[in-house]
Amino acid sequence: MREIAHFIVGGAAEAARYGDVYDPNTGAKQARVALGGKADLDRAVAIAKAAQPAWAAVNPQRRARVMFAFKALIEANMDALAHLLSSEHGKVIADSKGDIQRGLEVIEFCCGLPHLLKGEFTIGAGPGIDVWSMRQPIGIGAGITPFNFPGMIPMWMFGPAIATGNAFILKPSERDPSVPVRLAELMLEAGLPEGILQVVHGDKEMVDAILDHPDIGGISFVGSSDIAHYVYSRGTAAGKRVQAMGGAKNHGIVMPDADLDQVVSDLAGAAFGSAGERCMALPVVVPVGEDTADRLRAKLIPAIEALRVGISTDPQAHYGPVVTPQHKAKIENYIQMGVDEGAELVVDGRGFTLQGYEDGFFVGPTLFDHVTTDMRTYREEIFGPVLQMVRAKDFEEAVALPSQHQYGNGVAIFTRNGHAAREFAQRVNVGMVGVNVPIPVPVAYHTFGGWKRSGFGDHNQHGMDGIRFWTRTKTVTGRWPDGAGDGSSAFVIPTMS
């Protein structure tokens, strides 16, 4: 059986523990991944600490050239990376390419590093005094990434961190770890010095070692909200800067004037794409008014029933299996919970099997109607191909539903009314808003981040927030006396008067 080792300079020691990596399409175990701990991390950090000062001293345009070379290598290896990603995650090949491409867009942003790192300068801030600022790397950063985007999210993290002069330790999900290792290999091929990007595998033992390590200055995390809160609390208590992105329960508001055919098309992709395993999926649809709800439901049912669930390499499949047997069981338990809570199960995706792949981790598309806000299935993140309909009587209730939910990652409104869209975008208590855009993930030069229990910390992912998070600002106030001073001392705080 294939073994996936840590990517540490000089090779990795044999692991005492291993985790299983499945092929979600067949249900078979295809590899085992090393599960490391403090000793493995200590070794990686020591190597990073020795390598980082020289990398930070490399001028910005030369660091940017490594990013350019890495971009070219990703593009040249796109097909192989997508197939590797799909083989461990289960998403269809086209979706895997999208996963990698969205990460690559952040790398493209990092290619502009010389401009992004420019500081500020004020000449003559006082008599003969100039003031200027500079951005300097924090030293060693770490990223803890989830299973659902094993290409994109690692690049979101290590791209800005490395471009700004830091060394980086990546701890990817142990469920699909091969693509992150391959990305590190390609960074070396692109010209990155050894020790600047290393990959360690593990579970909670490794996560805690990262949170507690005194030489790691910043941590970026994406995962469930409970773990995000834990990472943020323990990391900041250890004196680190932490950005921790949590879960989501994104709502799609459908106004009476919306183009329902377009809404149904958008919902099919946003709710069921990648088997719903996206923090920016759209698992809750909120039609405004009973007539809107009834018309939408009538169009949704045949569209959902027409969705094709298939293996990752099926070019006709809309989505593939979920990542592990445990996750499949969790999703199906939530479906039963929704039935027990009194929601109307309109389309039931449980028990779905695919001929020839009966042991694969497949869940069919599921639709609930008449879901209410007191139901646990509404309050919690299911993270599967399950769409819930919550009927709102008017616009005010439609604004209140996502605003009052514990999660505040993304939300969308579907309407032809510009005033309603503008009002909604301004008032809704959610971090990212789509107007007739079902999955409002910002482009790489803006920032990604949710509110409430969807995000902990003061900085978002990528964009200028990514540059700010992985650097510290140093401000210098200087003067060059001409030798004609009177030699007197000042005992009060200096002012520019």
DSSP character string of 234-256: HHHHTT-EEEEE-----EEEE-T
- Helix pair angle (152-163, 178-189), 10° resolution: 30
Proportion of the chain in helix, strand, coil states, percent, rounded to 5: 40, 20, 40
What tokens does 359 get?
Answer: 């042991």
- The gap from C-alpha 314 to its chain's centroid, in whole angstroms, comes to 26
Do 381 and 248 meet the contact criterion of CB atoms below 8 Å apart?
yes
- Helix pair angle (395-404, 418-427), 10° resolution: 30
Residues near 202 by beta carbon (within 8 Å), at least 6 away in sequence? 34, 35, 36, 37, 40, 171, 174, 209
**Cα–Cα distance measured from residue 370 to residue 345, given in angstroms and rounded to the nearest whole number:** 9
Among 5, 174, 32, which residue's Cα sits nearest to residue 89? 174
The DSSP call for residue 275 is G
Which of 279, 286, 300, 420 is the catalytic position? 279
Q: Name the residue with tokens 């055919």.
A: 261
Among 98, 102, 429, 387, which residue's Cα sits nearest to residue 270? 387
108 burial via Cβ count (<10 Å: 0-12, 13-18, 19+): middle
* Coil, helix or strand at residue 448: strand
Q: Name the residue with tokens 């809750």.
A: 284
Do 21 and 147 meet the contact criterion of CB atoms below 8 Å apart?
no
- Could you list the beta-strand ranges (E) of 323-394: 344-347, 366-369, 386-389
Judge whether 279 counts as a catalytic residue.
yes
Residue 144: in which H helix or E strand, if any?
strand 140-144
What tokens does 205 get?
Answer: 């033992």
* Coil, helix or strand at residue 105: helix
> What's the Cα-to-Cα distance from 434 to each of 161, 280, 421, 428, rounded to whole Å?
28, 11, 9, 11
**Cα–Cα distance measured from residue 361 to residue 357, given in angstroms and rounded to the nearest whole number:** 9
Residues marked as catalytic: 279
